[in-house]
Structure 1
Amino acid sequence: MTRTVVGMGVGAVLALTWIAFGFWAFVLVLVALAIGGGVGRIVDGKLDVHAVADAFRGKRSSS
């Protein structure tokens, strides 16, 4: 599956959630998708948690 197809599927799920259950259900599903995507990137090794934490603390890296 291409990223375009996955993006279209996610958009369809979000749109149907908004239509069927309202705005706050849409926000809840959106947050759950974002958390799931973040966890997936961590598991795949594509997201360095320490670098993200340092960025939130205001520390900068030159690497």
Structure 2
Amino acid sequence: MTATQLGLLTGLALGLAVAFGGFPAFLAVLVFGAIGWVAGRFLDGKLDVSRLTGRDRG
């Protein structure tokens, strides 16, 4: 299991733990899943945040 997959599953689990029930819970799970996915991509080295921070690598 890659860090991206682990991050996505962790985000989904946290979303379910934080809010359970109805449409607001769906949105919370969606947001936490997206956050987990982005964190996992960053940990896998597949997300380049230098473009977001304005710094170049060379």
- Classify the TM-score, shorter chain: 0.5 to 0.7
Q: Unmatched 5+ residue regions in structure 2?
A: none
Q: Which runs of 4+ in 1 moved over 2 A?
A: none
Pairwise CA distance, 1:50: 1.4
Q: Distance in 1 between matches of 2:50 and 2:33?
A: 22
| Coordinate RMSD, CA, aligned | 3.0
Equivalence for 1:38 = 38
In the aligned structure 2, how far is the partner of 1:37 from the partner of 1:48?
14
Give the share of equivalent positions with the same residue, in percent. Answer: 47
Structure of greater Rg: 1
Distance in 1 (alpha carbons) for counterparts of 2:33 and 2:23: 15
Aligned residues: 40
The structure with higher relative contact order (CA 8 Å, sep 6+) is 2
Structure 1, unmatched stretches of 5+, are 58-63
Output the TM-score relative to the length of structure 2.
0.54
CA distance in 1, matches of 2:37, 2:43: 10
